[in-house]
Amino acid sequence: MAKEISSGEIAKLIHGECNDNSILVNKFASLSKADETSISFYLDSKYKEQLDLTKAATVILKAKDASLRDGPCIYVEDPYLAFAKVATLFQETKKVVAIDESLVSGKNLKLGKNATIKAHVSIGDNVTIGDNVFIDSNVMIGDNVRIGANVRIGSNVTIQNDVKIGSNCNFFSGCVIGCDGFGYARDKDGNWLKIPQTGSVTIGDNVDIGANTTIDRGALEDTVIEDGVKIDNQVQIGHNCVIGKNTIMAGCAGVAGSTIIGKNCMIGGGAMFKGHIIVADNTIISAGTGIGKTIQQPGERYTNVFPYNLKHKDWLKIAAKLKKWVKDDKTK
Amino acid sequence: MAKEISSGEIAKLIHGECNDNSILVNKFASLSKADETSISFYLDSKYKEQLDLTKAATVILKAKDASLRDGPCIYVEDPYLAFAKVATLFQETKKVVAIDESLVSGKNLKLGKNATIKAHVSIGDNVTIGDNVFIDSNVMIGDNVRIGANVRIGSNVTIQNDVKIGSNCNFFSGCVIGCDGFGYARDKDGNWLKIPQTGSVTIGDNVDIGANTTIDRGALEDTVIEDGVKIDNQVQIGHNCVIGKNTIMAGCAGVAGSTIIGKNCMIGGGAMFKGHIIVADNTIISAGTGIGKTIQQPGERYTNVFPYNLKHKDWLKIAAKLKKWVKDDKTK
Amino acid sequence: MAKEISSGEIAKLIHGECNDNSILVNKFASLSKADETSISFYLDSKYKEQLDLTKAATVILKAKDASLRDGPCIYVEDPYLAFAKVATLFQETKKVVAIDESLVSGKNLKLGKNATIKAHVSIGDNVTIGDNVFIDSNVMIGDNVRIGANVRIGSNVTIQNDVKIGSNCNFFSGCVIGCDGFGYARDKDGNWLKIPQTGSVTIGDNVDIGANTTIDRGALEDTVIEDGVKIDNQVQIGHNCVIGKNTIMAGCAGVAGSTIIGKNCMIGGGAMFKGHIIVADNTIISAGTGIGKTIQQPGERYTNVFPYNLKHKDWLKIAAKLKKWVKDDKTK
């Protein structure tokens, strides 16, 4: 049976005010799916009709929207942030703490309390894993890896040798942490010689790494992902990069080697960064934008993809005119 | 021994006409690799020399190309489509139906007839799997997953909890279906709080999902991939997206959260879509193009990458002139 | 105990000259991390301070920089290339040659000497594997695969049926070799029919394939990766492509089907190639650049992303002016 929580308790948690603090709820749901024991939330006028029709026992909304609902409410400043906090209260977590017998592990494994390790996992030598860690199926963890408490590692994840991970991190399925960086020197015959990648990857606390994302180990020093960084799916981080605290990167972004991205940056999907550059704190990069030079001034936004849609035939006209510029240009 | 099929039978299947319906063939091959018991196909003049030299017993071609070959032929409207149908006839499928003993599965597994499950697979609780399903090695299937008949799941694939899959689908190696969407709310200290992703993913019939592609689960509702959608490798689909029936997406494309793409769209490789927009049916997006706004008119094509190659030094000239525009512009 | 090598021996290996050939070293390290038994290297003035402070026993540097250091040195033409060679000398390789008992393998497996196969690997029928091969955990190798000597296959890698691999190759974690190419024919009802992909993938010697990279099998002929090619993470290579000898491709690049890239090309991160085109030898493609047409002239560089950063508001001005061109244009 799901636990019941009173609207008063919830209001306290989210720094909100109740018009009725005695309502008991036992789950979280969207306005349209809520029933008589649900708590829900109202963001903006797009959801007005759903608000009118909802069966929710109580609804989180902004104080300025108080007039929109007669029934029980909790008034807050930021309903979306409140939603994040409240939804966590009701998350069901399967309390099966167990280590599947298919685990293959090396010597000197130090495993914290309440570890869950699912099927077909392998763990190398000299690995230390904190309390309450969840490791899903088919995970490979190399030698000398250190993992903090409350970390979740999804299925088919790879964590290579020597990687250090803080606490409260999520690694989503298929991500690869600590493979060799892409470093080669060319000999006189045109062959590429691999540079040994002897650094590793250091990851802070509260970091999330998306599905099939790849983060390479450093060549001599470590690649570093600082506390609170959130990285979406299919992002590529090259060797020796540093991603600053609380920076957030959307899907398909790429960062070439040795680039340092500051704190609190917001990186749009598919954005690409050249190697060996520095990006100042609080920078915003629009989706799809390529960054080829260091950004020194913090807090600016950069864009180089069209902010509107270009019909194919219209773009051909623009492209032809741009090409003509080259023809007309007499300089070398 | 491979089965023999007559040219007459094949002609019937592909709505073609034979000049000789008694030819027996037992395999499909390209013109250059065909032997005396092969059927092959001729697309266009690029293959004229191969057509002259081929040893194929019979060749599928357009009626208008009849004069190009004296020997046995099957005339059709669309040889490429005919090829797709005929090649399937001769596909060898290893008839090993077996469940490897390394399978780790939870409670209440309902497995259809003729299931093949290869090595090191894990399946959660309350999973239902249809007839003739093939699951390759190292696959992880979560709890409460439903999979229809004739689905093939490649090696190292992840299907997370609650995902629903129709029939006749292909999931290629390394794809990840149903990981958490990328949703965070920011608190006053600049920390990102994870929004629980309580929706899932619903996938229709006849859907193909490419290698290492990722499709996130919805935040409150499901992410939806409709019938007949074909998605190539390394595509990223964010939470709450809907991809309409028979839309086809080439490799490395990305769709940010809550975007709805219509039916019968053709999306080029590397195309990127902003979140929370709508794309009309039958839209064509050129490779590499970014789409940042809703497209309301169906059937249009959009492009914003150069339709010709730009030499580095020519592009520098264009870029310098564009930059000068900013300098000359007196508006803020 | 690590082996000791004299500076004289090392100088010989890297075609350098010593000012003291009797120095014994037992490891490689960066200038800042080196101790009294380390050899290190000096690239350029960025590292001048580190050079002054280093504890390294001897340092590799250019002859022209000889005056920068009083102590033992080895003078070479290209210190980075020398570094690649020397670092390899001291790489520790764990000498555990073993085959984990969780291996599931088919019939007719031919395994060379000194093979290491880690946990939860599966290998199909009729597979031939050379000497000194290392296969990490959770790898899936299909039927009829041939793998040369000294190949390393990372965790969670998939090698599909019939793939042929030369010697001295590295496959990093999560890469997928030989899944079906993306080929469909459309019927009159708008449904996409899958074209069987009956070719495979042929990979030469000394090839590296990055983490989560995907290389599709050919439709009728093989996809080909020639000797010495180095491919970074999250690259997508479509069916029937050919990547020429010693070409190097940075992360997140994509090549659509049937495109032929020449020898010794350098492809920047995120570059995208249209299908069915040819790229001449020694071509350089800048990061993020899209190539839509055949390149016939060898040795040129192409670019179409901005070589400087554009502030969002400046780009809006440029975009508005470009859009005005379309409005002003009277041609259809």
Task: Confirm or reject contact between B12 and chain A (CB < 8 A).
Answer: no
Which residues lie across from B177 on neighbouring strands? B159, B215
Chains within contact range of chain C (3+ C-beta pairs < 8 Å): A, B
Stretch (H or E) spanning B129: strand B128-129
Residue A119 and residue B138: Cβ atoms within 8 Å? no
Chains within contact range of chain A (3+ C-beta pairs < 8 Å): B, C
Q: How far is B284 from chain A (nearest CA, A)?
A: 9
Q: What's the pLDDT band for B93 if we cut at 50, 70, 90? A: low
Q: How far is B229 from chain C (nearest CA, A)?
A: 8
Q: What's the pLDDT band for B96 if we cut at 50, 70, 90? A: low
Q: How far is A65 from chain B (nearest CA, A)?
A: 20
Q: Which residues contact C234 (CB under 8 A, 6 or more apart)?
A: A212, A214, A234, A236, A254, B212, B234, C210, C211, C212, C213, C251, C252
Residue B30 has pLDDT above 90, yes or no: no
Q: Which residues from B are below 8 Å from C293, CB to CB? A: 308-309
A191 and A284 part of one domain: yes
Task: Check residue C20 and give its pLDDT.
Answer: 93
Residue A237 has φ and ψ, to the nearest 5°, of: -120, 120
The closest of C183, C233, C175, C184 to C203, measured between CA atoms, is C175
Which of A 258-277 lie inside 8 A of B, CB atoms? 264, 269-270
Residue A251 has pLDDT above 60, yes or no: yes
Q: How far is CA A214 from the centre of its chain?
A: 13
Q: Which of B190, B214, B221 sits opposite A264 (nearest CB)?
A: B190
Q: Which of B89, B121, B137 is the last residue of a domain?
A: B89
CA atoms within 13 A on the CB side of C136: 30
Q: How far is A126 from chain B (nearest CA, A)?
A: 25
A172 and A261 part of one domain: yes
B185 and B330 part of one domain: yes
* Burial class for B117, CB neighbours closer than 10 Å (0-12, 13-18, 19+): buried
C192 and C308 part of one domain: yes
d(CA B169, CA C192): 12
Residue C83 has pLDDT above 50, yes or no: yes
C177 and C325 part of one domain: yes
C164 and C70 part of one domain: no
Residue A332 has pLDDT above 60, yes or no: no
Share of chain C above pLDDT 70, in %: 97
Q: Which of A31, A65, A89 is the last residue of a domain?
A: A89
Does B147 fall in a domain? Answer: no
Q: What's the pLDDT band for C1 if we cut at 50, 70, 90? A: very low
- Which range among C80-94, C212-226, C291-305 shows the weakest confidence by mean pLDDT? C80-94
Residue B46 has pLDDT above 60, yes or no: yes
Do β-strands A134-135 and A152-153 pair in parallel, antiparallel, or remain unpaired? parallel
Residue A254 and residue C269: Cβ atoms within 8 Å? yes
Q: Which residues from B are below 8 Å from A173, CB to CB? A: 140, 158, 160, 176, 179
Which of C 191-210 lie inside 8 A of A, CB atoms? 206, 208, 210
Nearest CA in chain B to C313: B332
Q: What's the pLDDT band for B103 if we cut at 50, 70, 90? A: very high
Task: Check residue C267 and give its pLDDT.
Answer: 98
Which of B 278-297 lie inside 8 A of C, CB atoms? 287-288
Does C59 fall in a domain? Answer: yes
Token reading at A227 = 């506390």
Q: Which residues from C are below 8 Å from A289, CB to CB? A: 310
Residue B170 and residue C180: Cβ atoms within 8 Å? yes
B75 and B168 part of one domain: no
Catalytic residue positions of C? 239
Residue B193 and residue B187 in contact, taking contact as beta carbons nearer than 8 Å: yes
A178 and A296 part of one domain: yes
pLDDT digits (tens, 9 = 90+) for A61-71: 999 999 999 99
pLDDT digits (tens, 9 = 90+) for B276-317: 999 999 999 999 999 999 999 999 999 998 888 999 999 999
Residue A1 has pLDDT above 80, yes or no: no
- Which range among B93-102, C19-28, C129-138 shows the weakest confidence by mean pLDDT? B93-102
Q: Which residues from A are below 8 Å from C83, CB to CB? A: 185, 195
Task: Check residue C331 and give its pLDDT.
Answer: 66
Residue C51 has pLDDT above 60, yes or no: yes
Task: Confirm or reject contact between C212 and chain B (CB < 8 A).
Answer: yes
Q: Which residues from A are below 8 Å from B238, CB to CB? A: 251
Nearest CA in chain B to A80: B185
Task: Check residue C326 and give its pLDDT.
Answer: 86
Number of domains in chain C: 2
Token reading at C114 = 């000194």
Q: Which of C234, C246, C269 sits opposite A190 (nearest CB)?
A: C246
pLDDT digits (tens, 9 = 90+) for B121-146: 999 999 999 999 999 999 999 999 99
Does A312 fall in a domain? Answer: yes
Task: Check residue A94 and give its pLDDT.
Answer: 60
pTM, to two decimals: 0.93
Residue C145 and residue A149 in contact, taking contact as beta carbons nearer than 8 Å: no
Which of C 122-141 lie inside 8 A of B, CB atoms? 122, 138, 140
d(CA C220, CA C218): 6
B83 and B196 part of one domain: no
Task: Check residue C7 and give its pLDDT.
Answer: 94
Q: Given phi > 0 = left and psi -120 to 50 = alpha, else beta, which region is B186?
A: beta
The CATH number covering residue C25 comes to 3.40.1390.10
Residue B298 and residue B317 in contact, taking contact as beta carbons nearer than 8 Å: no
The CATH number covering residue A292 comes to 2.160.10.10
Q: What's the pLDDT band for B94 if we cut at 50, 70, 90? A: low
Q: What's the pLDDT band for C96 if we cut at 50, 70, 90? A: low
Does A203 fall in a domain? Answer: yes
Averaged pLDDT for residues B19-37: 91
Averaged pLDDT for residues C47-75: 95
Token reading at B93 = 């499928």
A324 and A176 part of one domain: yes
Q: Which of C36, C54, C89 is the last residue of a domain?
A: C89
Residue A228 and residue B191: Cβ atoms within 8 Å? yes
pLDDT digits (tens, 9 = 90+) for A224-247: 999 999 999 999 999 999 999 999
Residue A164 has φ and ψ, to the nearest 5°, of: -115, 125
Averaged pLDDT for residues B85-113: 85
Q: How far is CA A282 from the centre of its chain?
A: 17
Q: Which of B15, B120, B239, B276 is catalytic?
A: B239
**Best residue in A312, A313, A324 for a mutation probing chain B (most B CBs within 10 Å):** A312
pLDDT digits (tens, 9 = 90+) for B238-287: 999 999 999 999 999 999 999 999 999 999 999 999 999 999 999 999 99
Q: Which residues from C are below 8 Å from B30, CB to CB? A: 220-221
Does A143 fall in a domain? Answer: no
Task: Confirm or reject contact between B325 and chain A (CB < 8 A).
Answer: no
Q: Which residues contact C202 (CB under 8 A, 6 or more apart)?
A: C163, C164, C222, C223, C224, C225
Does C116 fall in a domain? Answer: no
B171 and B74 part of one domain: no
Q: Which residues from C are below 8 Å from A276, CB to CB? A: none
- Which range among A280-294, C1-15, C155-169, C281-295 shows the weakest confidence by mean pLDDT? C1-15
Residue A95 has pLDDT above 80, yes or no: no
Task: Check residue A220 and give its pLDDT.
Answer: 84
pLDDT digits (tens, 9 = 90+) for A181-192: 999 999 999 999
Residue A91 has pLDDT above 80, yes or no: no
Residue A182 and residue C233: Cβ atoms within 8 Å? yes
Task: Confirm or reject contact between B102 and chain A (CB < 8 A).
Answer: yes
Does C137 fall in a domain? Answer: no
Share of chain B above pLDDT 90, in %: 83
Nearest CA in chain A to B182: A232
- Which range among A119-123, A310-314, B150-154 shows the weakest confidence by mean pLDDT? A310-314
Q: How far is C304 from chain B (nearest CA, A)?
A: 6
C74 and C199 part of one domain: no
Q: How far is B174 from chain A (nearest CA, A)?
A: 7
Task: Check residue C2 and give its pLDDT.
Answer: 65
Q: How far is C114 from chain B (nearest CA, A)?
A: 24
Task: Check residue C101 and give its pLDDT.
Answer: 94
pLDDT digits (tens, 9 = 90+) for C231-279: 999 999 999 999 999 999 999 999 999 999 999 999 999 999 999 999 9
Q: Which of C104, C221, C317 sits opposite B329 (nearest CB)?
A: C317
Does C107 fall in a domain? Answer: no
The closest of C274, A272, C238 to B306, measured between CA atoms, is C274
* Helix, strand and coil in chain C, % to nearest 5: 15, 30, 55
The two most distant CA atoms of chain A are separated, in Å, by 79
Q: Which residues from A are below 8 Å from C81, CB to CB? A: 185-187, 193
Q: Which of A85, A100, A232 sits opposite B104 (nearest CB)?
A: A100
Residue C323 and residue A308: Cβ atoms within 8 Å? yes
Residue A173 and residue B158: Cβ atoms within 8 Å? yes
**C197 is in which domain, residue-wise?**
157-332
Q: Which of B158, B160, B306 sits opposite A319 (nearest CB)?
A: B306
Q: Which residues from B are below 8 Å from A250, CB to CB? A: 182, 256
Which of C 32-61 lie inside 8 A of A, CB atoms? 33
Mean pLDDT of chain A: 94
